[in-house]
Amino acid sequence: MARDGKSTQLRLLVPTPLCGAIIGKGGATIRSFAEDSRAAITVSPQDKQPLGIPDRVVRITGAQDQLLRAVALLLTKLVESPNYTRFTTSNVSYGPPPQVSLLTAVLSLLLLASWQPHACACRIANITM
């Protein structure tokens, strides 16, 4: 929960074949990420995924420091996946980009500056504060 009593929700679009890496066996990996970051992390159910949409929604809710820690953990796990490079060059568009907030800018810089400077397999869908 943020200091002002409000939490922030970040939604990431992650290619479906990569979601198993962040969920882990029996949900162990995603639970450990939630415990470590103290953020709530959920992945949309695969059976509720609209036909033709190659991504699932990963929702992260918490204070900004919790979001940043959760994103760092998720991305570290994603880049370790042997399937990761298959998705770093895909260019999928779901419409106009959302308005960029400070948190979006920080997360974008974190994504670009850290793991792979030229590509990232997940996209920020939106942020709700």
Which tens digit of pLDDT belongs to each residue from 24-59?
999 999 999 999 999 999 999 988 777 777 888 899
**CATH code of residue 99:** 3.30.1370.10
pTM, 2 dp: 0.68
Task: Determine, yes or no, domain membership for 34.
Answer: yes
What 8-state DSSP symbol labels residue 96? S
Using one digit for the tens of pLDDT, what is the confidence trace for 72-128? 899 889 888 887 777 766 555 555 555 545 455 556 656 554 544 444 555 555 555
CB atoms within 10 A of CB 1: 12
- Which residues, listed in sequence order, are joined to residue 124 by a DSSP beta bridge? 12
Length of the chain in terms of residues written:
129
Give CA–CA dist 85/65, Å, rounded.
28
Contacts of 40 (CB under 8 A, 6+ apart): 34, 59, 60, 61, 62
60 domain-assigned: yes
Please indicate, yes or no, if residue 3 is contained in any of the structural domains: no
Q: Which domain holds residue 20?
A: 8-128
Q: Is residue 74 part of a domain?
A: yes
Query: Number of folded domains in the chain?
Result: 1
